[in-house]
Amino acid sequence: MTSTAPRVVAVTLNWNRPDDTIETLRSLAAQTCPNLRLLVVDNGSTDDSVARIRAACPEAHLLPHPENSGFARGTNLGIARALEMGADYVFVLNNDTLLAPDLLQQLLAHAAPGGGLLAPIIYYAAAPQTVWSLGGTLNPWLLETRENVRGQVDRGQWPAVLPRDFVPACGLLAHRDLFTRIGMFDARFFMYYEDLDFCLSVRQAGLPLRVVTTAKMWHKVSLSSGGSDSPNERYWMARSSVLY
């Protein structure tokens, strides 16, 4: 490890999807970023996830949780542990993502205390040049978000850094000071809208949200909720929208 490099802890959440989680951890292990530690919160898995992840990725720290308490609460457990581990920066990511080897170095090049949230450009895993998220605009009064570039092919048409109103929690980098200042995710959100609520808190604190388009991630979209437009996904979207 390089002692002068910032300490980064990557936090991901697993629930009964060890294959995806292991693939994500291996993608993290290939990062060119020094001083990186990996942390998996197992959110009450009922299969052999813990044993399989421990065997496949012994370098990862495992934090078993006895029940599935949802994305926000489970991720908060991971963030809290990351801070206890001495993280200067916490990188929160979904366990169904793949990363370019220099993703974290690209984000850290634009990071600083008081720097708000940084996120990568995110593509569909099944269509590696097609954008799934570049963040977007947010109207909190109408409960409306807009991602005008979703589905576009990346031909290098965007600047290296884009200011955004919101970025998805699929991949977020924040300095530890951010969590001291505004707290973590609102645990009332089991799934969905927790990232919009968190981004709104960041904006209200006067901090920026930016996407770094040279930092690249690929997402196997909606696998953790049972697939796009599944009954499980529709239920949690509806419930969380009421809370939001």
- Domain ranges for the chain: 8-243
What residues pair up with 3 in beta bridges, in sequence order? none
- Span of 133-142, 151-160, 210-219 with lowest mean pLDDT: 133-142
Cα angle 63, 90, 6 (rounded to 5 degrees) comes to: 120
Out of 3.90.550.60, 3.40.190.80, 3.40.50.1370, 3.40.50.1000, the CATH code matching 8-243 is 3.90.550.60
Q: Give residue-wise pLDDT tens across range 81-119.
A: 999 999 999 999 999 999 999 999 999 999 999 999 999
- Span of 26-30, 37-41, 195-199 with lowest mean pLDDT: 195-199
As a whole number, mean pLDDT of residues 218-236 equals: 51
Structure confidence at residue 235 as a pLDDT band (50, 70, 90):
very low
Instruction: Tell me: pLDDT of 29 over 50.
Output: yes
Structure confidence at residue 148 as a pLDDT band (50, 70, 90):
confident
Compute the Cα dihedral for 201, 206, 211, 212 and give only its sign.
negative
The larger pLDDT score, comparing residue 234 to residue 93, is at 93
As a whole number, mean pLDDT of residues 169-186 equals: 94
Instruction: Tell me: pLDDT of 225 over 60.
Output: no
